[in-house]
C-alpha cells in the first residue's frame, strides 16, 4: 500500500508532454484519476488516449498562463470534484537571450507561468485540497522546478532559472503554511530529460551531458514517474518542504 494511489484524484498541469506526461503516466499507473491540463488541447487529447489504456484520464485544454485562466480552471474543477488529493504544478516555459537584449515580454511570460500560476492554482484549489487531506494522509502539492534553480546554468535563461529558484522557495514557504492544514508541499528539480523544452539542447549536447551526469545518462520517464508516486503516495506522507533533484547527480558537478 505504500505506493498505491487508488481512489485519488490528481491534476497535472502541462501534462500533455515531457515531464508532465511522465508524471501523469506514473500517477495513472498507480491508480489515480488524473486531469491532464494543457494549453494545447489536441496534444492533451492525444496524451489522454495514450494513458487511458492504463486508467482514468480527463483531458482539459486550458490556458493557465493568466490569472483569469487559473481562476476559471479552479472554478471548473470545483464544479466537478469535491476533493483534490494531488496537484502537480508542471506547466512552464523558458526563454533564452543575451543579457543586454533580454526582452521584458520574455521575462514576464516565463515568470508568470513558472511562478505566478502555481501560486494562483494553490490559492484557487485550496478548498478542494483541504477537503482531501487528513493528518494520516495529507493532500499533496508537487511543484516541478529545475536543477537550473539549484545552480547557475550555462545558458542565458535568466527568467527561467530565477523563476525555478523562486518556485523552490515558494515550495518551502507553502510547506510551513499548509502542513498543519494537512497538505504537504514538495518540489522536484529535474535535470536533462527528453522534452520539447530540452529538444534543441539534447540535439546539440546530449553526448556531453551524458558524460557529465555522474550516472552516465539522461533521465527516463520512469525516473520522474517514480519520484512522483513516492511523493504523492503513503510512502511520502511525512515528506514536506523538500526539493528533490532528479538529475543523476548532475547538479553536484561543478562543470557540466
pLDDT tens, position by position, 190-221 = 998 877 666 677 667 778 888 889 999 989 99
Instruction: Look up residue 132 and give its three cell numbers.
Output: 482531501
For the chain, domains (ranges, CATH) are: 9-250 (3.40.50.720)
256 has pLDDT over 60: no
160 is catalytic: yes
Q: Please report which helix (H) or strand (E) contains residue 79, including its range.
A: helix 67-80
pLDDT tens, position by position, 99-114 = 999 999 999 999 999 9
Give the chain's mean pLDDT.
Answer: 95
| Catalytic position from the list 35, 102, 158, 160 | 160
pLDDT tens, position by position, 25-51 = 999 999 999 999 999 999 999 999 999
What is the phi/psi pair of residue 162, to 5°?
Answer: -65, -40
pLDDT tens, position by position, 143-194 = 999 999 999 998 899 999 999 999 999 999 999 999 999 999 999 999 988 7
> CA–CA distance from 9 to each of 26, 82, 115, 227 (Å)?
13, 10, 23, 18
Q: What is the mean pLDDT of residues 7-15?
A: 97
pTM of the model: 0.94
DSSP 163-229: HHHHHHHHHHHHHHHHHTTTEEEEEEEE-SBSSTTTHHHHHHHHHHHHHHSTTSS-B-HHHHHHHHH
Amino acid at each position: 500500500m505504500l505506493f498505491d494511489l487508488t481512489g485519488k484524484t490528481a491534476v497535472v498541469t502541462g501534462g500533455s508532454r515531457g515531464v508532465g506526461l511522465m508524471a501523469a503516466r506514473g500517477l495513472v499507473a498507480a491508480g489515480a484519476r488524473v486531469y491532464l491540463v494543457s494549453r494545447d488541447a489536441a496534444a492533451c487529447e492525444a496524451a489522454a488516449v495514450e494513458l487511458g489504456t492504463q486508467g482514468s484520464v480527463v483531458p482539459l485544454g486550458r490556458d493557465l498562463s493568466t490569472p483569469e485562466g487559473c481562476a476559471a480552471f479552479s472554478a471548473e474543477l470545483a464544479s466537478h470534484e469535491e476533493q483534490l488529493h494531488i496537484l502537480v504544478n508542471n506547466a512552464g516555459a523558458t526563454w533564452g537571450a543575451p543579457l543586454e537584449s533580454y526582452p521584458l515580454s520574455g521575462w514576464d511570460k516565463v515568470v508568470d507561468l513558472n511562478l505566478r500560476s502555481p501560486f494562483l492554482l494553490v490559492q484557487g484549489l485550496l478548498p478542494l485540497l483541504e477537503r482531501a487531506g487528513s493528518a494520516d494522509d495529507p493532500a499533496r502539492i508537487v511543484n516541478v522546478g529545475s536543477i537550473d534553480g539549484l545552480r547557475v546554468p550555462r545558458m542565458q535563461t535568466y527568467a527561467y532559472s530565477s523563476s525555478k529558484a523562486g518556485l523552490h522557495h515558494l515550495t518551502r514557504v507553502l510547506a510551513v503554511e499548509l502542513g498543519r492544514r494537512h497538505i504537504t508541499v514538495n518540489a522536484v528539480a529535474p535535470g536533462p530529460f527528453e522534452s520539447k523544452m530540452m529538444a534543441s539542447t539534447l540535439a546539440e549536447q546530449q553526448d556531453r551531458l551524458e558524460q557529465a551526469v555522474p550516472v552516465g545518462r539522461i533521465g527516463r520517464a520512469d525516473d520522474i514517474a517514480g519520484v512522483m508516486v513516492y511523493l504523492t503516495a503513503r510512502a511520502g506522507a511525512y515528506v514536506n518542504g523538500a526539493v528533490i533533484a532528479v538529475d543523476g547527480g548532475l547538479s553536484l558537478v561543478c562543470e557540466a
